[in-house]
């Protein structure tokens, strides 16, 4: 009986689907919330669970890599061909906080399957998209009949992506030799929609800060003193109001210096997508589109930098009035960044801009979080053609290109390892990342499995990276 490779892959996936979903559900039951210290043990448990699942999959090397924060998981499965490309898959095993009270219909850490979807925190972001690599590599081996994958496969699954990947770059630097790769595949993004499969080709970076403004040493009477001393809440509001001009461009001097300008070809790829503004607004749960003049909505979200007010506070917020000049006010700002912007240069420009605007009598402090750099895929890279072919085989459709407005530490891998970053994800906008009732579409999840089953063969057949022999993993 002869089977084409595609039907061998599909048969393998069908046969193992139930066990695969059971295993994923077991992992989703571990509340690996990296932002909440009370879940630190759960994040550790999630790392151990994954390492053992990867060992069970057949990875001869599985290790837990501690960091000063949450642990990462590393796994490696060398190819039998020493010249095969070395591929490093990146994902994360930590998740965003979730509680039933936030509006979940079922317990966030008790996954349920309903209407061919698995609901649970992390189903799409990112445990589901990490886990499809386990069945994917098994299906790949079933189709090739080989004992090892066609590429040297490495996995690095970090444990603190949802809290800013604070220790990630240092970990990658310390382990650069073990992580050496010809290409990095980030498995933590999405597609355009259920019916328009796409490959993401870029993510924005982010720099975020908290600003504290202090005026009087305590709340003071606004009739006795107001109008004659500076009010920190007014200063906070003025800062926010001055952040954008009438064209919704960010006013901080130097903010747009050196940014990668969208080429006509890139704009054409974006314009190819079936964008429907009313539908997009429904997904955004928003009531009007607005943003930088001269750019489409998708260009604004994917390829233009932003300044966003994430929080503003100060003064009396309780019921009724309270006639005071408040002692303090607070702002939380974040800046999404695009290629060409250096997060540290943006931090300095904003810090100087704020300092120049705070009047006498108001003290201020500005504290920056760990920034994330923007990252773009080289559109002419041969490995990108492999990803597009493999996805095309799995989905049976033309594959188009998107970007993501969100951020992740992909650029650190690119910088430190000197390898191009590609993105492979099957999540869709309705999956509800970071929201109540996060889910993953099971058909798409299994298309992810199928894509990787083809991808490793396609890469090995169609691409001989010049550096392959320099980065062969050492045995043992």
Looking at 404, 431, 441, 458, which residue binds ligand BES (CB under 6 A)? 404
* Residue 189 site contact among ligand BES, Mn ion, none (CB < 5 to 8 Å, cut-off depends on kind): ligand BES
- Residues facing residue 184 across a β-bridge: 88, 421
The answer to whether the CB of 209 falls within 8 A of the CB of 330 is no
Number of H helices, E strands in the chain: 13, 18
Tokens of 416: 């430190």
The binding track of 207-226 with respect to ligand BES, each residue x by CB under 6 A or -, is --------------------
In the complex, least distance from residue 168 CB atom to ligand BES, rounded to whole angstroms: 11
Site membership for ligand BES, residue 306 (CB under 6 A) = no
In the bound state with ligand BES, the residue whose beta carbon lies nearer, of 42 and 125, is 125
Among the listed ranges 6-14, 18-26, 185-193, 393-401, the one in contact with ligand BES (CB under 6 A) is: 185-193
* Residue 438 site contact among ligand BES, Mn ion, none (CB < 5 to 8 Å, cut-off depends on kind): none
In the complex, least distance from residue 126 CB atom to Mn ion, rounded to whole angstroms: 4
Site membership for ligand BES, residue 408 (CB under 6 A) = yes
Residue 35 neighbours by CB under 8 Å, 6+ apart: 96, 97, 162, 163
* Residue 76 site contact among Mn ion, ligand BES, none (CB < 5 to 8 Å, cut-off depends on kind): none
Distances (CA, A) of 302 to 97, 173, 266, 331: 25, 28, 11, 25
Q: CA-CA distance, 89 to 82, in Å (whole number)?
A: 19
In the bound state with ligand BES, the residue whose beta carbon lies nearer, of 130 and 206, is 206
Among the listed ranges 184-192, 261-269, 303-311, 424-432, the one in contact with Mn ion (CB under 5 A) is: 184-192
In the bound state with Mn ion, the residue whose beta carbon lies nearer, of 125 and 450, is 125
Q: CA-CA distance, 420 to 411, in Å (whole number)?
A: 9
Residue 23 neighbours by CB under 8 Å, 6+ apart: 53, 131, 134
Site membership for ligand BES, residue 407 (CB under 6 A) = yes
Distances (CA, A) of 271 to 67, 419, 424: 42, 29, 21
Site membership for Mn ion, residue 158 (CB under 5 A) = no
Residues 98-157 touching Mn ion, rule: CB under 5 A, are 125-126
Looking at 34, 79, 189, 471, which residue binds ligand BES (CB under 6 A)? 189
Site membership for ligand BES, residue 125 (CB under 6 A) = yes
In the complex, least distance from residue 324 CB atom to ligand BES, rounded to whole angstroms: 35
Q: CA-CA distance, 404 to 399, in Å (whole number)?
A: 16
Tokens of 378: 């080289």
Tokens of 450: 């199928």
In the complex, least distance from residue 220 CB atom to ligand BES, rounded to whole angstroms: 38
Q: What are phi and psi of 330, to 5 degrees?
A: -135, 145
Among the listed ranges 71-79, 184-192, 257-265, 282-290, the one in contact with ligand BES (CB under 6 A) is: 184-192
Among the listed ranges 113-121, 186-194, 221-229, 257-265, the one in contact with Mn ion (CB under 5 A) is: 186-194
In the bound state with ligand BES, the residue whose beta carbon lies nearer, of 161 and 182, is 161
In the complex, least distance from residue 469 CB atom to ligand BES, rounded to whole angstroms: 33
DSSP state of 463: -
Among the listed ranges 55-63, 160-168, 455-463, 464-472, the one in contact with ligand BES (CB under 6 A) is: 160-168
Site membership for Mn ion, residue 188 (CB under 5 A) = yes
Among the listed ranges 133-141, 183-191, 297-305, 377-385, the one in contact with ligand BES (CB under 6 A) is: 183-191
Count residues near ligand BES (CB under 6 A).
Answer: 15
In the bound state with ligand BES, the residue whose beta carbon lies nearer, of 189 and 386, is 189
DSSP state of 259: P
Q: Token match 């005071």: residue?
A: 324
Site membership for ligand BES, residue 234 (CB under 6 A) = no
Site membership for ligand BES, residue 438 (CB under 6 A) = no
Residue 76 neighbours by CB under 8 Å, 6+ apart: 59, 60, 61, 152, 153, 154, 155, 178, 473
Q: Token match 């490779």: residue?
A: 5
Nearest-10 Cα torsion for 129, 135, 137, 140: -120
Q: H/E element holding 156?
A: strand 152-158
In the bound state with ligand BES, the residue whose beta carbon lies nearer, of 128 and 473, is 128
Q: Token match 């980030």: residue?
A: 186
Looking at 136, 149, 164, 473, which residue binds ligand BES (CB under 6 A)? 164
Q: CA-CA distance, 199 to 178, in Å (whole number)?
A: 27
Looking at 23, 42, 158, 161, which residue binds ligand BES (CB under 6 A)? 161
Q: CA-CA distance, 118 to 440, in Å (whole number)?
A: 5
**Nearest CA among 204, 200, 266 for reference residue 399:** 200
Residue 17 C-alpha from the chain's centroid: 26
In the complex, least distance from residue 34 CB atom to ligand BES, rounded to whole angstroms: 9
Q: List interacting residues with ligand BES (CB under 6 A).
A: 125-126, 161-162, 164, 188-190, 206, 372, 404, 406-408, 433
Q: List interacting residues with Mn ion (CB under 5 A).
A: 125-126, 188
């Amino acid at each position: 009986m002869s089977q084409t490779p595609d039907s061998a892959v599909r048969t393998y996936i069908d046969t193992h689907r139930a066990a695969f979903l059971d295993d994923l559900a077991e992992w989703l039951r571990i509340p690996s919330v990296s932002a909440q210290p009370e879940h630190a043990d759960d994040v550790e448990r999630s790392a151990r669970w994954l390492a053992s699942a990867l060992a069970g999959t057949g990875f001869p090397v599985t290790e837990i890599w501690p960091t000063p924060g949450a642990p990462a998981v590393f796994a490696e499965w060398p190819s039998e061909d020493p010249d095969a490309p070395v591929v490093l898959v990146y994902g994360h095993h930590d998740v965003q906080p979730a509680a039933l009270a936030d509006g979940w219909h079922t317990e966030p850490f008790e996954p349920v399957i309903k209407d061919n979807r698995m609901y649970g925190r992390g189903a799409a972001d990112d445990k589901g998209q990490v886990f499809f690599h386990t069945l994917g590599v098994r299906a790949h081996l079933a189709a090739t009949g080989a004992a090892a994958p066609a590429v040297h496969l490495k996995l690095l699954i970090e444990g603190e992506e949802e809290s800013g990947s604070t220790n990630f770059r240092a970990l990658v630097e310390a382990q650069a030799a073990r992580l050496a790769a010809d290409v990095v595949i980030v498995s933590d993004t999405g597609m355009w929609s259920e019916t328009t499969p796409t490959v993401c080709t870029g993510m924005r970076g982010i720099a975020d800060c908290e600003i504290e403004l202090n005026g009087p040493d305590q709340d003071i009477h606004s009739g006795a003193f107001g109008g004659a001393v500076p009010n920190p809440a007014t200063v906070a509001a003025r800062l926010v109001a001055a952040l954008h001009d009438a064209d919704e461009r960010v006013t901080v001097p130097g903010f747009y210096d050196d940014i990668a300008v969208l080429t006509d070809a890139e704009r054409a790829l974006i314009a190819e997508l079936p964008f429907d503004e009313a539908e997009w607004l429904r997904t955004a749960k928003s009531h009007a589109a607005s943003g930088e003049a001269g750019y489409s909505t998708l260009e604004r979200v994917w390829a233009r930098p932003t300044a966003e007010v994430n929080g503003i506070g100060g003064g009396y917020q309780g019921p009724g009035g309270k006639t005071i000049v408040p002692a303090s006010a607070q702002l939380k700002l974040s800046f999404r960044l695009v290629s060409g912007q250096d997060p540290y240069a943006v931090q300095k420009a904003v810090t100087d801009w704020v300092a120049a605007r705070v009047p006498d009598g108001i003290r201020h402090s500005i504290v920056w979080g760990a920034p994330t750099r923007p990252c773009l895929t080289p559109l002419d890279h041969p490995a990108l053609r492999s990803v597009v072919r493999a996805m095309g085989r799995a989905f049976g459709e033309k594959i188009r290109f998107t970007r993501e407005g969100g951020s992740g530490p992909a650029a650190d891998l690119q910088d430190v390892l000197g390898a191009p970053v590609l993105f492979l994800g099957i999540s869709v906008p309705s999956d509800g990342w970071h929201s109540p009732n996060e889910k993953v579409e099971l058909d798409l999840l299994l298309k992810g499995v199928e894509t990787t089953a083809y991808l490793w063969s396609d890469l090995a057949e169609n691409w001989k990276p010049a550096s392959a022999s320099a980065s062969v993993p050492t045995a043992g």
